[in-house]
Structure 1
């Protein structure tokens, strides 16, 4: 058993899609978290998870390059925030964001990345180019829990087709793109790292990669108790922990 769960601790609760939506609704409506605030918390935690999975001294390439692939909905906005924090942490993120949301909040996140001189690609490199262009990892912020809404649509379908074949590590945010929140993968991508936001979703039981992180320390205690989340122990001041 890992140190996050520890002896005598109940394992974390794995949430259904309805339960995850209920927690987010409660945070927004009852606890008065703003949508920007939640996306910022989650994006920062995802960047922290990337730094834990791929610490700077251990990277095989000279430049700590990361390709962040963002979809049009909330998971894509989390990816934008993740990229901004990776830049602050001295990584070299590049963003592919082909279908930009008209949401003013998401536009602001985009502007923040542009102002920090994070490059935006006009096309997604092929699987061969991804390796040859010296990316250390790909952050999958394409669909997440919104899989049902866009998996078969372009440009998401083409992105998933490429990500299924890349050989460099993939870090998926919350729910790997193309996976059902509860049932898991149906021939979709196979990420090496999964970052569960707030709490693991049921599909995470079928995750076979090398590291699974949870970013839920920010949740108010009453929310943790109400939904019986049994969160892992976060050491020190850590906001994200490996299960």
Structure 2
């Protein structure tokens, strides 16, 4: 069996551009919806609403945070009790629309602030964290207001589900500075990133972005074949597939 590919930051960006270009023809909103749904599904698979009903969804100001807002909405629909924490809310229109959708569902949002008291309070009454703060374009060091938030999240000892790459990790080098979060669960979108090769928790692939069609019973890989991603098949209608532990033997691209 050929191993799944792990992506560099440059290649991940290139694939995103193709997905939103003539090849994939996805809109950014579509990709965020699929990503957020996959993240919500992964969290629900590992942390049931009966035992872990209260989810703190931590959103950064970029597309990663948008994925988190979508996930918060779906988690609310799944029967969880999400609370949104945005140390620095996004300013783009699509981000604001996603936030309004959560507001319409009466999902509470902590007010943006450099103070940490409100974060401490909500952590004490949460069961699990969804980390959607930094994406694969993150470059250190961690700056305000995130530099005070990440330690509090780590020190809470709550289980963490990270989106794409744990916040504070370099997309290609991993947690080299030792300031990143250490999640129990990771949801890689499109394909895993090079920096998470050493991740040892439960690892899911999500999104189902990459075109893949069945023709005469055989799979036409199209964009997947072009980049040699070697993605596993998603089971049935699920938006996620768990990667085996031996995925660490994958190739670099």
* C-alpha separation in 2, matches of 1:194 and 1:125: 27
Residue 138 of structure 2 corresponds to residue 147 of structure 1: yes
Q: Give matches, 1:7-156, under 5 Å.
A: 9-30=1-22, 31-57=24-50, 59=51, 64-122=53-111, 129=121, 132-133=124-125, 135-148=126-139, 151-156=141-146
RMSD: 1.8
Aligned to 2:206: 215
Q: CA deviation at 1:130?
A: 5.1
Q: 1:128 to 1:97 in 2, by over 3 A?
A: closer
Deviations 1:104-135 (A, max 9, x none): 110000000000000001265578645531x1
Q: Where does the alignment leave 5 or more consecutive residues of structure 1 unmatched?
A: 1-8
Contact 1:218-1:239 at 8 Å conserved across structures:
no
* C-alpha separation in 1, matches of 2:37 and 2:141: 25
* C-alpha separation in 2, matches of 1:151 and 1:113: 30
Please give the TM-score of this superposition, normalised by the length of structure 1. 0.88
Aligned to 2:190: 198
Q: CA deviation at 1:29?
A: 1.2
Q: CA deviation at 1:159?
A: 1.4
Q: Where does the alignment leave 5 or more consecutive residues of structure 2 unmatched?
A: 213-221, 244-253
Q: CA deviation at 1:166?
A: 2.0
Q: CA deviation at 1:152?
A: 2.3
* C-alpha separation in 1, matches of 2:119 and 2:145: 16
Q: CA deviation at 1:204?
A: 1.8
Contact 2:56-2:123 at 8 Å conserved across structures:
no
Q: 1:117 to 1:240 in 2, by over 3 A?
A: same
Q: Which runs of 4+ in 1 moved over 3 A?
A: 123-132
* C-alpha separation in 1, matches of 2:33 and 2:18: 17
Q: CA deviation at 1:208?
A: 2.3
